[in-house]
Amino acid sequence: MFRSFFVMSFQSPIGVFDSGLGGLTVLKEMVKHLPDHDFIYLGDNARAPYGPRDFDTVYQYTLQAVQWLFDQGCPLVILACNTASAKALRTIQQKNLPLMDPSKRVLGVIRPTTEVIGDYTETNHIGILGTKGTVESCSYVIEIQKSFPDVTVYQQACPTWVELVESGEHLTPKAEEHVKPCLDALLGQCEGIDTILLGCTHYPLLLPVIRQLVNPAIQIISQGEIVAESLVFYLKRHPEMAGRLSKGKTLRFFTTGDVEQFGHAAGIFWGEAVSAGKAAL
Ligand code: DGL
């Protein structure tokens, strides 16, 4: 299938946002599930990580990113970032969207994940790994409780993992030093955990290290596919939105950070060269 990375004119792509590189793990699955659509990806690498930032800062940064993607013509924006979904999504949906453009939509990654995650566990004990911001928001605990009241959720913040990925060090032996203590702290909370959710879109890049350190009987779930399937279902239920999205099979990348560095890192992840543009939010 032909997919152009370079076509510059778009009508109405799907906007995908993350604090940095992590949202690529979601974008990849979305492109697989919606191969004809146009996508535009924005990473706020200059200001990543979002995890340690306070509520209002994450909200302000995310709002700027959503506005930027709207300005590029996106009728639909996916916050492919758990921290932004936990700290900014609801306020943007309820307060800002009606003033910005009530016909546009902003969706997150937490709700689609919590709607299905209970189906993966047999023991009803699920572990969540996330950023400090996501864990402190308790969004996963609250949302999973609504969909799966019998499931007990255990959380562990992994404060250094996003920077590890952003710096490319997730591919070095140093990664294990950062990963093991967090896994031990999570699994030490309950022997019955049979499912671990990677509740940060950066973490699937650490999956080879995580998998090596965790008992093979424990499932490790990444969100990309779950979120992509949920988006396909959303577009079926919302033909008025589906009809507004353009289908030119194009993909553009933008970063607030260093374009060369982003292009290189995204290229490794994507498996082919990626050229990124600079975004000023
Ligand atoms: N990928 C973001 C998430 O899913 C990382 C947030 C951060 O920058 O700390 O939470």
Burial 98-110 (b: 16+ CB within 10 A, else e): eeeeeebbbbbbb
d(CA 140, CA 130): 10
d(CA 261, CA 276): 9
Residue 204, ligand 1, Cβ within 6 A: no
Token pair 């969909």 is at which residue? 147
| Mean pLDDT (whole number) for 60-88 | 97
Is residue 245 within 8 Å of 238, Cβ to Cβ? no
Beta pairing class for 105-107 and 125-130: unpaired
d(CA 194, CA 210): 14
- Domains in the chain, ordered, with CATH? 14-108+225-278 (3.40.50.1860), 111-222 (3.40.50.1860)
Residues acting as catalytic residues:
81, 200
d(CA 48, CA 61): 10
Task: Choose one of 201, 205, 221, 223 to mutate for the ligand 1 pocket test, by most ligand atoms within 8 angstroms of C-beta.
Answer: 201
The pLDDT tens digits of the residues spanning 109-165 come to 999 999 999 999 999 999 999 999 999 999 999 999 999 999 999 999 999 999 999
Q: Give the global pTM.
A: 0.94
- For residue 166, the model assigns a pLDDT of 87
Token pair listed for 38: 């146009």
Residue 134, ligand 1, Cβ within 6 A: yes
Distance 243 CA to ligand 1 centre (A): 31
The pLDDT tens digits of the residues spanning 8-43 come to 455 799 999 999 999 999 999 999 999 999 999 999
The pLDDT tens digits of the residues spanning 219-272 come to 999 999 999 999 999 999 999 999 999 999 999 999 999 999 999 888 877 877
Q: What is the mean pLDDT of the chain?
A: 94
**Of 253, 177, 269, residue with least CA distance to 17:** 253
- Residue 6 reports pLDDT greater than 90: no
Is residue 202 within 8 Å of 56, Cβ to Cβ? no
The pLDDT tens digits of the residues spanning 184-231 come to 999 999 999 999 999 999 999 999 999 999 999 999 999 999 999 999
The pLDDT tens digits of the residues spanning 84-101 come to 999 999 999 999 999 999
Distance 132 CA to ligand 1 centre (A): 9
Phi-psi category of 114—alpha, beta or left, where left has phi over 0 and alpha has psi -120 to 50?
alpha
